């Protein structure tokens, strides 16, 4: 894929993230049937969902890539993997366990499709198709667990203060701290395993691409 189309893909991803997050905030502000009631509380509370934060990370890393495709700092590599892992699990868990439980329409349906389907597909397909290999490692996979661990810690502390939790598996009021912490450990292991899987897959794809690159170079040299 040429640099031009790589930028187009990243820009498209950014636009979908922006649209999905904005629509999620707007629809949340107008939904006053939950724990929070004021528009301000509902709007800010949207950003406490793992789904929204995953989208924002994907959007931010895609924007940086769109402006300079060859960026390769440790921080960007780490957040790129964090975004890829988090958005993949966001999409998979939503469609496997949650989608059939919800009856959505209008703008709410559109916002859910953008953040749970469109952005995950763009992120994963982009990772496969664009071919920026060698940007992850065992060290980066380990660092990627810092984001979900931080999110889980923050959510538990905030939840104790406002008496609200974004997902059932982390709802201390219903599960108690022992079961909730156990669930957090399982989620962290799942995310770490996914990061390791993407890292191994990246290395495999890089090895497959290398012979083709060498072959093309050889042909070019003989032609010259």
The tens digit of pLDDT for each residue in 3-54 reads 787 889 999 999 999 999 999 999 988 876 777 777 788 888 899 999 999 9
Predicted local distance difference test score (pLDDT) of residue 2: 74
Q: What is the pLDDT of residues 173-193, one digit of tens each?
A: 999 999 999 999 998 899 999
Residues contacting 214, CB < 8 A, separation 6+: none
A 10 A CB-CB count for 28 gives 23
Higher pLDDT, 37 or 147: 147
pLDDT at 57: 96
pLDDT of residue 16: 97
Mean pLDDT in residue range 148-161: 92
- Domain ranges in the chain are 3-219
Confidence at 209, pLDDT banded by 50, 70, 90 = low
Given this model, what pLDDT does residue 213 score? 45
User: Whole-model pTM above 0.75?
Assistant: yes
State the pLDDT at residue 206: 80
Average pLDDT rounded to a whole number, residues 119-129: 92
Q: Kindly report, residue by residue over 63-120, the tens digit of the pLDDT.
A: 998 888 777 788 889 999 999 999 999 999 888 887 777 778 889 899 999 999 999 9
pLDDT score for 40: 84
Between 209 and 84, where is the model more confident? 84
Burial of 63 (0-12, 13-18, 19+ CB in 10 A): middle
Is residue 212 over pLDDT 70?
no
If one counts every other C-beta atom within 10 angstroms of the C-beta of residue 49, the result is 18
């Amino acid at each position: 894929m040429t640099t031009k189309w790589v930028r187009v893909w990243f820009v498209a991803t950014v636009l979908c993230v922006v649209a999905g997050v904005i629509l999620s905030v707007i629809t949340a502000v107008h939904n006053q049937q939950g724990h929070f009631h004021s528009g301000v509380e509902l709007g800010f509370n949207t950003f406490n969902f793992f789904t929204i934060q995953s989208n924002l990370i994907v959007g931010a890393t895609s924007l940086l890539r769109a402006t300079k495709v060859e960026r390769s700092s440790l921080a960007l590599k780490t957040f790129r993997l964090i975004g890829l892992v988090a958005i993949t699990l966001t999409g998979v868990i939503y469609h496997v366990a949650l989608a059939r439980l919800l009856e959505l329409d209008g703008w709410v349906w559109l916002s859910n499709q953008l953040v749970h389907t469109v952005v995950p597909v763009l992120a994963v397909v982009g990772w496969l198709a664009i071919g920026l290999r060698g940007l992850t490692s065992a060290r980066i996979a380990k660092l990627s667990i810092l984001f979900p661990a931080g999110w889980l810690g923050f959510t538990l502390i905030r939840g104790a203060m406002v008496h609200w939790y974004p997902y059932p598996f982390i709802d201390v009021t219903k599960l108690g701290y022992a079961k909730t912490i156990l669930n957090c450990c399982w989620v962290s292991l799942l995310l770490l395993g996914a990061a390791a899987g993407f890292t191994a897959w990246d290395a495999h794809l890089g090895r497959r691409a290398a012979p083709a690159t060498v072959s093309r170079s050889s042909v070019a040299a003989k032609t010259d």
